[in-house]
Structure 1
Amino acid sequence: MTAGDARPPTFTGPRDPGDAWAVGPDGTRMWGLFGSAGLLAVDRARGVLLQHRAVWSHYGGTWGIPGGARHEGESAVAAALRESHEEAGVPADALEPLFTRVLDLGFWTYTTAVAWTTHGFEPEVRDAESLDLAWVPLEEVDRLPLHPHFGEAWPLLRSMIRHRPALVVDAANVVGSRPDGWWKDRAGAACRLLDALAPAVADGLPAGLLGMDAHTAWPHTVVVLEGAAKAAAGTTAPRLEVARAGGTGDDEIVARVEALMQDDGGAPVTVATSDRGLRQRVEELGARSIGAGALRDVLDSRA
């Protein structure tokens, strides 16, 4: 179910409090008392998974994404995964999160969770909310009669779904931005940074930190260590890579930025450093930069 559906589905089991209308100050009704969410699954070979909506629904006969009302206490991403599984048989273990984008009407939100597929699967119609489900090549999406809300969002979504954003962290500069005794134990300070980054990267970072017009993003993150910090123990976390510089940390960061931009042309790359010279070097390559404090603020907010 998506924004403004004409009527709720028929429930055959216990009804969650979220399966109800949210009513705005002007009387506008949106389905999902706690908001709604949907999944835009992206198979980079076949396109995006779209749902041909049942004719009885609001904007019936149009194409959109599987989704529905969030349950009480349920995160938007969890709701998108649950609804897409219930409606289209999408297996959660076949998805890798990319970013989320939120439509916020004040009294109600709709979250689009975007994910890449990690292996192929075929969707299946599992309830009366779908006439059909199909993988649609990106260049053919605009040819379909799209649900108006999805149609409005599609141009921006399309511009961001081809590439995973990347974050390259100048560990020496980020660690050195705080006088916490790091100079006594550079490896230990690097370990603390990695320990803070791992869960943040796994849960998703604020997309604005990466220059994206979205809510949360899951970037490929490279932490560059140099000098004594290279003795820091590595960490195992999704999408988090530790690079130990053979020469200077700055040169390693520039090389990583060049490689990322070459290997995945068009991918947005952000470098976290307050070093002016390094920021100039990476920006000349087409990357963007943020200060060490901006990254620190995000990590501190999670502490």
Structure 2
Amino acid sequence: MISEPSAANEPHRPAALPGRATGARNAGDAWVAGPDGQRYWGKYGAAGLLAVDPERGILLQHRASWSHYGDTWALPGGARHEGESAAAAALREAAEEAGVPAGSIRVRMMSVLDLGVWTYATLIGDVTVPFEPVISDAEGHALAWVPPDEVQALPLHPAFARSWRWLRPLLDVRPVVVVDAANVVGVVPDGWWKDRAGAAARLLHAVSALAARGLPGEPLGLPDAVWFPEYVVVVEGQARKVAGPEDPDPLVRLARADGSGDDAVVAEVEQLLSGGRSVTAVTSDRGLADRCRSAGARVIGAGGLRLYFAAGRQQ
């Protein structure tokens, strides 16, 4: 995925960081040079977090005066460690620079700027457990929750200012995938008819794994990025006996249809759309697909979802 950078610390960093303790530094804290001589901070790339609080706005860091484009506002972020995923790096840097507690963010989307020699990942995450940010290193001298409509009034880091133009509309995009479990299970002749509850349990496991990996924007009708939508898996008939997971996934909800599974899928779609959600229904049933489209949802086939299941097994 290629997008404009939203790097709070992208691409410049001084050779020494005032106020930081001396000692061994992570191998990722190093410069990378492009073919044109431009340098980028982070041997393994860099990442930053755009934390969204529904009541207070987005979390911004006022950069220290000594930094590149000092005294501007941007996202907490920094260099990735060797072998560290971009999402993990964004969350770690946010914890180190802004005191963002572990488990307080639910990831919604990640977009990656790929320059070949260097990457920067922007992670959008929703605050699920409110917290007060804490300045914990010398790279910033203030942190603030800023309402989205007030962000442009601040002196922004130029890279963040460029990216904010496309990031701002995405703050209101909250995707949900509604899965017609009977249809998705039925496209593979693996004996599901002998144990419908067991087949539903396998589907729930596959959906949970997919929720953790994310989906590209194209099947969801969303901008190019890795998205982490919520999932509603609708089960009917004998599949309603499926047991819920012992450790529930916050991104996956099981809906047990009292009667028609098709009616339950449409009801879920309509309710979510009325709440302003971006909804994609998964079914290969033509009649149900038409009903979901008429309600305003996007539709992908059961086989399409299973292709993403298979892609995860091959990784």
TM-score band (shorter)? over 0.9
Structure 1 residues 243-297: Cα deviation after superposition (integer angstroms, max 9, x where no partner): 11122211111100111112x22x2111111222222211122111111122111
Structure 1 residues 49-91: Cα deviation after superposition (integer angstroms, max 9, x where no partner): 1111123222222211000000001111111111111111111
What amino acid does structure 1 have at the position aligned with 2:9?
A: T
Q: TM-score, normalised by structure 2?
A: 0.90
**Shift of residue 298, structure 1, vs aligned partner:** 1.1
Of 58-67 and 156-165, deviating more is 156-165
Q: TM-score, normalised by structure 1?
A: 0.93
What amino acid does structure 1 have at the position aligned with 2:14?
A: R
The count of corresponding residues between Structure 1 and Structure 2 is 301
Give runs of aligned pairs for residues 25-174 of structure 1, distance below 5 A.
Answer: 25-174=35-184
Say yes or no: does 1:2 pair with 2:9.
yes
Of 278-287 and 54-63, deviating more is 54-63
Say yes or no: does 1:250 pair with 2:262.
yes
1:251 & 1:15 partners in 2: Cα distance? 58
Secondary structure of 1:34 counterpart:
coil
Closer/same/farther in 2, CA of residues 59 and 108 from structure 1, 3 Å limit: same
2:149 & 2:235 partners in 1: Cα distance? 42
**Shift of residue 9, structure 1, vs aligned partner:** 4.2
Aligned to 2:5: none
2:15 & 2:182 partners in 1: Cα distance? 54
Aligned to 1:261: 273
Identify unmatched segments of 5+ residues in structure 2: 1-7
Contact conserved, 1:206 with 1:217, CA < 8 A, in 2?
yes
Structure 1 residues 83-124: Cα deviation after superposition (integer angstroms, max 9, x where no partner): 111111111232222211111112211111111112322222
Aligned to 1:297: 307
2:296 & 2:166 partners in 1: Cα distance? 20
Choose the corresponding residue for 1:288, options 280, 298, 306.
Answer: 298
Closer/same/farther in 2, CA of residues 289 and 195 from structure 1, 3 Å limit: same
1:276 & 1:217 partners in 2: Cα distance? 26
Contact conserved, 1:44 with 1:162, CA < 8 A, in 2?
no
**Shift of residue 131, structure 1, vs aligned partner:** 2.8
Secondary structure of 2:120 counterpart:
strand
Closer/same/farther in 2, CA of residues 296 and 58 from structure 1, 3 Å limit: same
